Structure 1
Amino acid sequence: MSAPAPPPVGPGPGAVIEEITALGPFFALEAHGPAEPASSAAGGPGWQPVSAPLLADRVTAVRRWLADAGGQPAEAVELRVAASVAHLGLAARLVSPALAAAVLFGRPLLFTLSQVRWQPVLGGPAPLSLPTGALGEPRPGAESLAGLLATGLVSGALEELASCFERFGVSRHILRGNTASAVNGAAVTLGRTRPQHASRTSVFAASLLASPPLDGESATDAAGVFRRRSCCLIYRAAPGAQGALCGDCALR
C-alpha cells in the first residue's frame, strides 16, 4: 500500500504578496525584515515608520492639496477635514491587503502600527511595506480568521492609527466611520476584481463591520447599500463647505 499523498502546499509568502499587489495600488505591498532600518526597509529609499511628525506633515500636505483643488488658501480648509481625509486613505491602505490575504488565501496578515513602513508621498495610495512575519499560516475556518482580523487588525493597528489622528480634532466616531468605509471600499474593490470570491469577501467584510469597535458605525439598507453613520468631512474642503457628498455618507 502506498503512503498517503502529503497535503498540498499553498503559495509561499512571496507569491501571496505578488498576487495581492496585482489587485491594485490600495492592495500593493512589499516586505521588510525586522533588522532593516526604516530608511532601507523593503530595499528602497524613503521608507519610514508611521510617526507622529510624518503624520502631521501628511495632514499639512493633504490640507494644501485640498485647498489647491478648490482654489483657496490652505487656512480655508479646516485642519480636522484634512486629517480625516488623510486618515481614511491610510486606513484603506492597511486594511485592503489584509482583507485580500484572508479572502484569497485564508491567511491572516497582522501587524502593529510601529511595524509598518511607508513612503508618505501624495498623488495616490502611499507605498506600503509590512514585516516579513506579518503573514500567518492558513487558517481552516473563515469565522476564526475573521475574528482574528477583528481583534488583531481592526482593534489593533487600525485603532492605533485612529488614535494618532484624534489630536487633529477629528472625533473617534468619524475615525471609526472612516475605518468602516475603508473596510467596505476594500471589499467592493476585491469583489469586483475577483468576482469568484465576492461572496467570501462579503462574509469577511460583514464580520469585521459587526465586530467592536466598528459595530454600530455603519449599516446596510434593504437594497444592500452600505452607509456609514458619520461623515468623513471632505465636502467641507470645497469653497463654502459646499462640496459633494461621498456615496456612503451618513448625510445623504
Structure 2
Amino acid sequence: MTHQPHRTAGPGAVIEEITALGPFFAVATHPAGAPPAGPWQPLTGPLLAERAAGVRAYLAAAGGQPPEAVEPRVAASVAHLGLAARLVSPALAAAVLHGRVLGCDLGAVRWQPALGGPVPLSLPDDALLPPAAAPSAGRLADAVARRVLDGPLAELAGLFGASGVSPHILLGNTASAVNGAATALGAARPELAARARAFTALLLERPPLRPQRGRTPAGAFRRRSCCLIYRAAPGRAGALCGDCVLHGATA
C-alpha cells in the first residue's frame, strides 16, 4: 500500500497546514543552529522538573488539596504525557497529510513552559525532511518511529524517568499521545480520520511502542499502563482516562 499525500508542498506550506489543525498541532520554526531567545526555552531536565512541580500544584488545587497531597511521580507522568502529545501531534500530521517525517533532536526543540493549555512549540526549520518518492505506509511508519519515537520522544521519556516514573508508564504515555493525536487529527479533518487511524496502527506495531498496543473487545485503543492521574484526586479516587488499562481491572 502506497501512502498518498494530498500534494507536494514546500516546508512553509506544510507547517502552516499542520498549525491550522489546532493548538496541539501548532508549531513555529526557527533557523537550525540558531534557536530563538526567551521566552523560548530548551527542554532541559531542570525546566521539566519545574514543569512537573507546576503540574503538581495545578492538580492539587483542582482537588482542593495542598501540593504535598499529589505524588511527585503522578505530576511528572501527567506533565510528560502533555509534552509527548505536543511533540508527536505535528509529526503525525506531517506523515498523514503529506507523507513526510517531521522530527529532530530534543535539544533543538524550544518551548514556552506555561501552564493552562498546549505549550507553544518551535522546531528548527530543517526538522521537516524532504519528501520521499511515493513512500509506502510501512516505510513511512518505520521512518517516523526511528526519527520521532526513538528520537525526541525517547529523549523526553529519559528526562522524566529521573522523576521516578517507570519506563512502562512513560511508554504508555507516548502510545496514548500517538492515539490522542490521531483522534484530534480526525476531529479537525474528518476526511483524514481513517487514514490517521490506519497510520497510527502501524506506529503502534513498531518498536518502541509495540508492547503498549492493546485493544478493547470493540477494537478501541487501550494502553497497557496507567498515566496515574486518577491518583491526583482526593482519596486517589479520580476518574480513569478513556484508554486506561485499569478499566475493568479487578485489582
For Structure 1 versus Structure 2, the TM-score category normalised by the shorter chain is: over 0.9
Question: Which residue identity lines up with residue 22 of structure 1 in the other structure?
Answer: A
Is the CA contact 2:35–2:110 (under 8 Å) kept in the aligned structure 1? no
The residue that corresponds to 2:23 in the other structure is 25
Identity %: 63
**Structure with larger RCO (C-alpha < 8 A, sep 6+):** 2
Structure 1 residue corresponding to 2:74, chosen from 67, 73, 81: 81
- 1:218 aligns to 2:213 (yes or no): yes
**Whole-angstrom distance in 1 between the partners of 2:117 and 2:31:** 25
Residues 100-126 of structure 1, C-alpha deviation per residue, up to 9 Å, x if partnerless? 000001111011111110000001011
Name the TM-score, length of structure 2 as normaliser.
Answer: 0.92
Is the CA contact 2:30–2:36 (under 8 Å) kept in the aligned structure 1? no
Q: How many angstroms does 1:38 deviate by?
A: 4.2
**Whole-angstrom distance in 1 between the partners of 2:143 and 2:212:** 20
Structure 1 gaps, min length 5: 1-7, 40-44
Question: Which residue identity lines up with residue 76 of structure 1 in the other structure?
Answer: A
**Whole-angstrom distance in 2 between the partners of 1:198 and 1:162:** 28
Alignment of 1:164-243 (within 5 A): 164-243=159-238
**Whole-angstrom distance in 1 between the partners of 2:154 and 2:203:** 13
Q: SS at the partner of 1:227?
A: coil
Alignment RMSD (CA, Å): 1.4
Structure 2 gaps, min length 5: 1-5
| Shift >3 Å, 4+ stretches | none
Larger Rg: 1
The residue that corresponds to 1:107 in the other structure is 100
Structure 2 residue corresponding to 1:124, chosen from 114, 117, 125: 117
Question: Which residue identity lines up with residue 14 of structure 1 in the other structure?
Answer: G
Residues 144-194 of structure 1, C-alpha deviation per residue, up to 9 Å, x if partnerless? 111100111111111111000111110000000000000000011112222
**Whole-angstrom distance in 2 between the partners of 1:98 and 1:37:** 19
**Whole-angstrom distance in 1 between the partners of 2:66 and 2:90:** 35
Name the TM-score, length of structure 1 as normaliser.
Answer: 0.92
